[in-house]
Structure 1
Amino acid sequence: MRSNGVYGFRPLEQADLPLLKSWLSAPHVRQWWGDPEGEIAEMSEFLDGSSVRPYIVSLLDRPIGYIQSYDPHQEYEHPYRDQPAGTLGIDQFIGVADLTGLGHGPAMIRAFCRMLVEAGASRVVTDPDPDNRNAIRAYQKAGFVKDDIRNTEYGTVLMMHVDARYEMERR
């Protein structure tokens, strides 16, 4: 597990899928993520190796959420292949409803982005629903800037990014 002392990130395991399904079924997550059964099926595929790297997020060793990174350049016709080489994308959620709105989102996103930058990422992108004000605010607090609105196979999204240079200057 990689950790900054507060937030830890360990690879998703098969044994985590029931917990993940309970989080995906929670109203605050389900509003922005797809059908829990479909999401679990897709996340299960990530366990066998793919361009997506899934993690369980822990707060002081307590599992609280999910985060994933992916390389848009590893997928043919990915809508974010226009990003510079070295770009990774992320998606995440806090599964424990009582921990939302307390600043954990921006903090865990910053910690994860630092980990990605230390591993060589030059840019990190994300694509929240333009109506998801809480997510957009969390990303902005984590240092992301808005780019553009895009219509993709995932729906209408707000592209946002943070560059490695910015992340390294924050240390």
Structure 2
Amino acid sequence: MAQDYAIRAMAAADLPLIRRWLGTPDVMRWWGEPDEQYALVSGDLAHPDMDQFIVAIDGRPFAYLQCYALSAWDHGFGRQPPATRGIDQFIGEPDMIGRGHGARFIRQFVEDLLRSAAPRVVTDPDPANARAVRAYEKAGFRRDRLVETPEGSALLMVSQPGDLP
């Protein structure tokens, strides 16, 4: 049976939680230095082209998700349809990793986004992050190609309305 995740807008009151999550080993491995990432995440809280969310299940927050207007950032993804959205996420609670939550909450979020207005949603995990790549594939993304981003090589993955079940 599918679980529904509560995905709510992040608020300034969530910043201590985000700071703690950024310091966990798995998040640090893929997101990088916690203080630098915290400055970026907290700095984007009021950015008009960035939507940030806290994901919870059964009342327990466990993940961060950001969704942004791709046109506002140059990621090296090449031409994309107007209004394409990009997403990034991490699971901050170590005991929630490896349980299938990532694929399920990403799918729930992306299906809502595609049904509402976005022509395409893209993401760019590190190609070495096999767990993230599998989660995105289970969430309905398909591999597109390797791209060079300001952070290094990434695997561009795409989901669009035709990919929905």
TM-score (norm 2): 0.93
* Conservation of the 8 A alpha-carbon contact between 1:145 and 1:160: yes
Q: Verify: 1:114 aligned to 2:117, yes or no.
A: no
Corresponding residue to 2:34 among 25, 33, 36: 36
Deviation at 1:6, TM superposition (A): 2.0
The aligned runs of 1:10-89 (5 Å cut-off) are 10-75=8-73, 77-80=74-77, 82-89=79-86
Question: What letter corresponds to residue 14 of structure 1 in structure 2?
Answer: A
Question: What letter corresponds to residue 114 of structure 1 in structure 2?
Answer: E
- 1:140 corresponds in structure 2 to 137
SS at match of 1:31: helix
User: Which has the larger displacement, 132-141 or 38-47?
Assistant: 38-47
SS at match of 2:31: coil
> Superposition RMSD on alpha carbons, in Å?
1.6
- Return closer, same or farther for 1:105/1:5 CA change in 2, 3 Å cut-off: closer
Deviation by residue 1:96-123 (Cα, 9 ceiling, x = unmatched):
1111111101001101102211330111
* Conservation of the 8 A alpha-carbon contact between 1:72 and 1:80: no
Deviation at 1:78, TM superposition (A): 4.3
TM-score (norm 1): 0.90
Gaps of 5+ in 2: none
CA distance, structure 1, for counterparts of residue 138 and residue 106 of structure 2? 9
Aligned length: 164
Deviation by residue 1:112-152 (Cα, 9 ceiling, x = unmatched):
10221133011110000010000001111111111111111
Gaps of 5+ in 1: none
The aligned runs of 1:141-156 (5 Å cut-off) are 141-156=138-153
CA distance, structure 1, for counterparts of residue 147 and residue 76 of structure 2? 9
